Amino acid sequence: MDSLEKTGFLKFIDVILRVPPLFFIDEIFRIGFGIRIGYGLKDPSHDRLFGLTLYLDHVDANQTEFDLASGDSYSIVVYSFFKLLLSIWGCVIALCIFMLRTKQLVHVYMFILSLGCIFLSHCFNDGFVQYIIDNIASNIDSKMDFLSHLVLFRTNGLPSIESLVDKTTMFHNFYYNVALQVGLSFLFLNVHLGPYYKMLNTLIPLSFTAPTVLVIFSLPSSIQSHLAVFSALLPLALINYALVSSSFSIIYAIMSACQQARTFVNNFGLSALLEYEWTRLNVPNVLRCFWILRLIEHAITLAIIGLSEAGIPDDGSYHLIVKHLLVTGCETTNITLSASLHRTCHHSIYHWTI
* pTM confidence score: 0.72
CA–CA distance, 29 with 32 (Å, rounded to integer):
5
pLDDT tens digit sequence for 47-95: 444 433 343 444 444 444 445 555 566 777 788 888 888 888 988 899 8
- DSSP code at position 130: H
Gyration radius (Cα) of the chain, Å: 26
Contact criterion met (CB below 8 Å) for 83 and 34: yes
Q: Is 202 helix (H, G, I), strand (E, B) or coil?
A: helix
Instruction: Kindly give the confidence (pLDDT) of every residue in the chain, 354 residues in length, as a single tens digit, with 9 standing for 90 and above.
Output: 567 777 888 888 888 889 999 888 888 887 777 665 443 334 444 444 443 334 344 444 444 444 555 556 677 778 888 888 888 898 889 988 888 888 889 999 999 999 999 999 998 888 888 877 776 555 544 444 555 555 444 444 434 444 444 455 666 778 888 899 999 999 999 888 888 888 888 888 899 988 888 877 767 777 877 888 888 898 999 998 888 888 888 888 888 888 988 998 898 888 888 888 888 888 888 888 888 888 888 888 877 877 766 667 666 567 777 777 777 766 666 666 666 665 666 554 555 554
Domain definitions of the chain by residue range: 21-98, 103-245
Strand pairing category for 48-49 and 52-53 = antiparallel
Q: Cβ(195)–Cβ(244) under 8 Å?
A: no
Q: Are 18 and 286 in contact (CB under 8 A)?
A: yes
Using alpha carbons, select from 123, 134, 173, 183 the residue that is nearest to residue 152. 173
